[in-house]
Structure 1
Amino acid sequence: MFYVKHTWIAVGALFAALAVAIGAFGAHGLEGIVSSSMLENYETGVQYHMFHALGIIAVGLFATHQGVNGRLQAAALFMSVGIVIFSGSLYVMALTNMTWLGAITPIGGVSFIAGWVFLLVAALKR
Structure 2
Amino acid sequence: MKDYVLLIAALYGALGIIFGAFGAHALKKIFSEDLLKSFETGVKYQLYHAIVLLIIGFQFSFTETLQTAVAWCFIIGIFLFSFSIYGFCISSAKGKKLRFLGPITPLGGLLLVIGWILLGVSFF
Identity %: 35
The residue that corresponds to 1:40 in the other structure is 37
Q: Closer, same or farther in 2 for the Cα pair 1:68/1:14, shift >3 Å?
A: farther
**Paired AA for residue 86 in structure 1:** F
Query: 2:89 matched to 1:89?
Result: no
- Residue 28 of structure 1 and its aligned partner are, at CA, apart by 1.1
- Cα-to-partner distance string for 1:23-80 (whole Å, 9 max, x where unaligned): 111111101201111111100000000111111112112215xx53211111111111
String of CA shifts for 1:79-99, please: whole Å, max 9, x gaps: 111111110111011101126
Instruction: Kindly indicate whether the alpha-carbon contact (under 8 Å) linking 1:79 and 1:112 is maintained by their aligned counterparts in 2.
Output: yes
Query: Aligned AA for 1:123?
Result: F
Rounded Cα–Cα distance in structure 2 between residues aligned with 1:109 and 1:99 = 18
Is 1:50 the counterpart of 2:47? The answer is: yes
Tell me which residue corresponds to 1:80: 75
Which residue of structure 2 lines up, in the alignment, with residue 107 of structure 1? 107
Tell me the residue number matched to 2:63.
Answer: 68
Matches of 2:43 and 2:3, distance apart in 1: 24
Where structure 1 has 5 or more consecutive residues not aligned to the other structure, the ranges are none
Task: Pick one of 12, 17, 22 that aligns with 1:15.
Answer: 12
For normalisation by structure 1, the TM-score amounts to 0.87
| 8 Å Cα contact 1:59-1:119 kept in structure 2 | no
Residue type of the alignment partner of 1:29: A
Runs of 4+ displaced beyond 6 Å: none
